[in-house]
């Protein structure tokens, strides 16, 4: 997973602005999309780069206010996604199908700018480079080139700070954390170029290619305070919980959600089932996403920090444990064990998505099928492996109904649906 961000000041006084601190807070809001590295690049006639391995508030904690620049881009990512070629820097999310990946794409864009305008160069990239991706490019003079390929699988949302600044980010929550008003989304196939005095747009289509939203964004990747493609993530997740309660009821005394993604799903399950919602876990330290952590020991430690059970909420009670998805089953097994160790009589697991069956070809952090517990085991078999008294997944139809858009407008490949 990757989070990208771009921001630029407008007007003749734009050189009085410094955007590095805005980038810092915006990337903090996108930290859940990538925990291994963070970089920012700013422009004031020259390009200035800062960042490295580690989370945002560790890597950029010192010196961020000393970084000059009235326009900038940033990235949080577990993989390569940012590069500089000459006077052009680029932050990308997704998978451009181009030998050399983002480095080659940046080089290609830089070369095109030698003979083309920023809008024409960006359009040519979308015309010629297939794949599912979004990018935000920055020139040394502070021009931002923003593009979302026609598949629409990698999101971009637009915000503004009055007439002083414009910004774009993977999620609307990052814009709001920076004090911006969320005003639009970059549409599939759309190119937007922002300089200090104008905003220019163009649209690209590819024959035979339709736009699709990534269903996994609404299940797991996005923050629940974000709006993506005009769909409020919180509302989708509450609806997932309501549909899950209809499809997979359970007799229990309490519903608890695995923080943080599954908490709205648990709220919907509680609302539809009439079973009281309880706060079942307390967290320690920095928020982590255990599903995207590299090693088994890192995931185990992440679980211990993120999911310490509240004994008073579960002791001597039958519990419905709601989670958003199951990847390997390791985290779920540890959570079920922890609940029973803290006195839960029975634990009925309810998952707010279908079983994950395939990796994502577009750089979302989903492992190969031999690591996906749902690709080979039945619900009852998974329940036995994780120690649950029962386990049920949301149906594919239930997920589609919860998101509220037609099936052919969604990418469902990670659930095993091709097309």
273: left (phi over 0), alpha (psi -120 to 50) or beta: alpha
Query: Residue 30 in contact with residue 5, Cβ under 8 Å?
Result: yes
Low-confidence ranges of the chain (pLDDT < 50): none
- The strand pair at 88-96 and 131-139 is best described as antiparallel
Half-sphere exposure of 204 (CA within 13 A, CB side): 26
What does the alpha-carbon distance between residue 338 and residue 344 come to, in Å, rounded to a whole number? 9
- Rounded to two decimals, what is the model's pTM? 0.93
What does the alpha-carbon distance between residue 53 and residue 67 come to, in Å, rounded to a whole number? 18
* Domain 3-210, CATH: 3.60.20.10
Helix (H) or strand (E) holding 29: helix 20-29
pLDDT score recorded for residue 296 = 53
Which one, of 225, 245, 222, lies nearest residue 322 by Cα? 245
pLDDT score recorded for residue 307 = 84
What does the alpha-carbon distance between residue 56 and residue 21 come to, in Å, rounded to a whole number? 12
What does the alpha-carbon distance between residue 219 and residue 352 come to, in Å, rounded to a whole number? 7
User: In the chain, which residues fall in CATH 3.40.50.2020?
Assistant: 216-415
Instruction: List beta partners, residue 349.
Output: 321, 391
374: left (phi over 0), alpha (psi -120 to 50) or beta: alpha
Residue range 52-73, pLDDT digits in tens? 999 999 999 888 999 999 999 9
Residue range 239-289, pLDDT digits in tens? 999 999 999 999 999 999 999 999 999 999 999 999 999 999 998 876 665
* Alpha carbon separation from 243 to 149, 281, 352 (Å, rounded): 32, 24, 9
User: In the chain, which residues fall in CATH 3.60.20.10?
Assistant: 3-210
Look-up of token digits 């810092």: 24
Confirm or reject CATH 3.40.50.300 for domain 216-415, answering yes or no.
no
């Amino acid at each position: 997973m990757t989070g990208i961000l771009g921001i630029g000041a407008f007007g003749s006084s734009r050189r009085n602005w410094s955007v590095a601190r805005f980038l810092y807070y915006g990337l903090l809001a996108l930290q859940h999309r990538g925990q291994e590295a963070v970089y920012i690049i700013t422009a004031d006639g020259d390009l200035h780069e800062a960042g490295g391995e580690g989370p945002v508030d560790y890597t950029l904690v010192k010196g961020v206010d000393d970084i000059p620049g009235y326009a900038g881009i940033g990235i949080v990512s577990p993989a390569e996604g940012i590069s500089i070629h000459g006077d052009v820097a680029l932050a990308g999310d997704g998978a451009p199908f181009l030998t050399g990946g983002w480095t080659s794409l940046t080089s290609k864009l830089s070369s095109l700018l030698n003979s083309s305008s920023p809008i024409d160069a960006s359009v040519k990239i979308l015309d010629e480079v297939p794949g599912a991706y979004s990018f935000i490019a920055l020139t040394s003079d502070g021009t931002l080139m923003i593009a979302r390929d026609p598949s629409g699988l990698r999101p971009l949302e637009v915000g503004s700070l009055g007439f002083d600044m414009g910004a774009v980010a993977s999620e609307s929550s990052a814009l709001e954390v920076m004090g911006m008003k969320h005003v639009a989304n970059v549409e599939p196939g759309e190119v937007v170029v922002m300089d200090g005095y104008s905003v220019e747009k163009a649209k690209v289509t590819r024959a035979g290619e339709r736009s699709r939203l990534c269903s996994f964004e609404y299940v797991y990747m996005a923050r629940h305070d974000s709006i993506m493609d005009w769909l409020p993530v919180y509302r989708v997740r509450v609806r997932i919980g309501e549909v899950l309660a209809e499809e997979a009821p359970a007799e229990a005394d309490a519903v608890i959600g695995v923080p943080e993604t599954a908490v709205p799903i648990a709220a919907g399950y509680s609302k539809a089932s009439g079973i009281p919602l309880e706060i079942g876990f307390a967290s320690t330290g920095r928020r982590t996403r255990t599903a995207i952590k590299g090693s088994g020991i890192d995931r185990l430690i992440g679980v211990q920090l993120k999911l310490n059970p509240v004994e008073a909420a579960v002791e001597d009670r039958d519990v419905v444990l709601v989670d958003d998805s199951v990847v390997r089953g390791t985290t779920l097994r540890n959570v079920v064990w922890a609940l029973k160790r803290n006195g839960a009589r029975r634990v009925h697991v309810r998952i707010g998505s279908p079983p994950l069956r395939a990796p994502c070809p577009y750089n979302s952090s989903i492992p190969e099928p031999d690591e996906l517990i749902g690709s080979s085991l039945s619900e009852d078999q998974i329940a036995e492996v994780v120690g649950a008294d029962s386990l049920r997944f949301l149906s594919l139809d239930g997920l589609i109904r919860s998101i509220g858009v037609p099936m052919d407008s969604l990418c469902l490949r990670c659930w095993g649906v091709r097309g």
